[in-house]
Chain A
Amino acid sequence: MTLEAKNLTFRYPRRGAAPVLEGVSITLRPGERLGLSAPSGRGKTTLCKLLAGWEEPEDGQVLLDGAPLSRRGFCPVQLLWQHPEEAVDPLLKLRVSLYEAGPVDPAVLEGLGVREEWLERYPAELSGGELQRICAARVLGPELKFLLCDETSAMLDLITQARLWRFLLKQAEERGLGLLIVSHDAALLDRVCTRVLTWEEIAAPRRT
């Protein structure tokens, strides 16, 4: 099972806006840990949104094993959003957000260090790191095949960061997940990735 983006073109709906992505292609295989680094504003987050089915491309395709992503049910490609406080409903207790996709393996909660008492609180009452771990727990369902980590650890302290990565890498290893890791942190990419790409390698040369 591979995740393939072919020749993606995408623009945000604003009058006369230039495309954010133009002719972007990328392939992610199971068990692979692919790093992507590019200056900010290039469209890394936008690419992740398209890969996870949050947005539809204007042109090109996102294919999972040769077929378009299904619009129903749990999507095998999940995006771990950079700002976890935006990824959970602010009006609901985290217990609801955590179990949104169904039961979560207690070993996952244990491994991520999600504490029971956090679940009785609202998003505004938790730190970014705590929220990010809850978001990670809810996307690690049994149907998950590819996990897109968009600057996932940028706002975490070093200890939490190390712990989160250790757990995610172990999960990926055991379950043969494909990871796409978007980060500015060259050291992190070097350490965890099997392959690192720059923006020039996935995007068609810009017309000037």
Chain B
Amino acid sequence: MRTNRRADTLFLLIFAGIFLSAIALAGGLLTEPAGAADFTRKNLPPCLAHPFGTDWMGRDMLARTVAGLSLSIRVGGLTALLSGGIALLLGTVSAACGPRVDALVSWVIDLVLGIPHILLIILVSLACGRGVWGVIAGVALTHWPSLARLVRGEVLQLKQATFLRAVRRLGVSRGRVLRTHLLPHLLPQLFTGLILQFPHAILHEAGVTFLGFGLSPERPAIGVILEESMGYLAAGRWWLALFPGLSLVLVVMLFAVAGERLRLLLAPASAQE
């Protein structure tokens, strides 16, 4: 049973990894065709040549969607990495550097968790001058607290472990304890946390862009596509919103499911299942 689940999860992770890297790569190559206007074929509903249809400038919606997802995935990956790094640093510092630092970090964690994400992202994004870096900073700076809290709890628990007490009395330095003993124990949690951050990051990126506080309109972002297509829904051009929206949901769900499966697999309580 257990090996089965492990194999399934591994398969899912590898599949998700390959699928998303393929989109990320293809999107990079498709940026040109995605922007290519051709007024001889504008406003086509989905057909064989253009499975996702075309828009009012004759741009192929499939190419635009893939390019948009690609941008989302790259932005999502970078923000997940950044917020994971912040979480690891602050979580460890909080647990390892004494009660004062711990109280301070815990306070900041509660503070950031208390503010609605989207509001904070918009503020940070505006402060950083919008654009890709504004969005990345906004999402990264808002998404570390829950993971940091997790890391902190884990380090606090590890500090009580018998083997760590024994090791410290052997004269092993703090740095080495951190590298050889703490990090390997934190890695599974951190890895799962990173994957679970991904869908959040992507959705929030699309969200702020949709609201007009994120990526600039000339970027082939999913949020931009969705925002534009809203104006054409009333004109009956449903395909402009439907396919890009569905693709976004699909990518997000793929990450969420893979992350959740990994979390269940690595959680000690479900280890015997």
Contacts and interface: CB of A to CB of B under 8 A. Distances in A.
Given A92-B180, A92-B184, A96-B180, A87 B170 contact: no
A177 interface: no
A101 B162 contact: no
Contact of B170 (A86, A91, A101): A101
B235 interface: no
A88 B163 contact: yes
A83 B267 CA distance: 25
Interface stretch (A33-41, A70-78, A159-167): A70-78
A101 B166 contact: no
A111 interface: no
Contacts of A83: 162
A53 B171 contact: no
A89 interface: yes
B180 A73 contact: no
Contact of A75 (B163, B171, B180): B171
Nearest to A80: B166
B170 A138 contact: yes
A74 B169 CA distance: 6
Interface of B: 161-163, 165-167, 169-172, 180-181, 184-185
Interface string A32-53: 0000000000000000010011
Contact of B166 (A73, A79, A90, A102): A79
Name which of A75, A78, A88, A89 has the most chain B CB atoms within 10 A of its CB: A89
Contact of A87 (B166, B180, B185): B166
Closest 5 CB pairs of A and B: A74-B171, A101-B170, A86-B162, A73-B171, A75-B169
A54 B170 CA distance: 11
Interface in A61-113: 72-75, 78-79, 81, 83, 86-92, 96, 100-102
Contacts of B169: 52-54, 74-75, 78-79
A87 B184 contact: no
Given A73-B171, A75-B171, A101-B171, A81 B180 contact: no
B172 A100 contact: yes
A139 B165 CA distance: 13
Nearest to B164: A89
Nearest to B166: A87
Contacts of B163: 86-90
B184 A91 contact: yes
A52 B170 CA distance: 11
A52 B166 CA distance: 9
Given A91-B184, A96-B180, A81 B171 contact: no
A87 to B, nearest CB: 5
Nearest to A70: B171
A79 to B, nearest CB: 7
A21 B162 CA distance: 20
11 contacts: A54-B169, A73-B171, A75-B169, A75-B171, A78-B170, A89-B163, A91-B185, A92-B180, A92-B184, A96-B180, A101-B170
Contacts of B161: 86
A17 B29 CA distance: 67
Contacts of A78: 169-170
Contacts of A102: 171
Contacts of A79: 166, 169
Contact of B162 (A53, A81, A96): A81
Contacts of A53: 169
B149 to A, nearest CB: 21
A49 B181 CA distance: 21
Contacts of B181: 89, 92
Nearest to B170: A101
Name which of A78, A79, A86, A100 has the most chain B CB atoms within 10 A of its CB: A100
A74 B173 CA distance: 10
Contacts of A86: 161-163
Interface string A113-143: 0000000000000000000000100110000
Contacts of A91: 184-185
A102 B167 CA distance: 12
A81 B185 contact: no
Contacts of B184: 91-92
Nearest to A71: B168
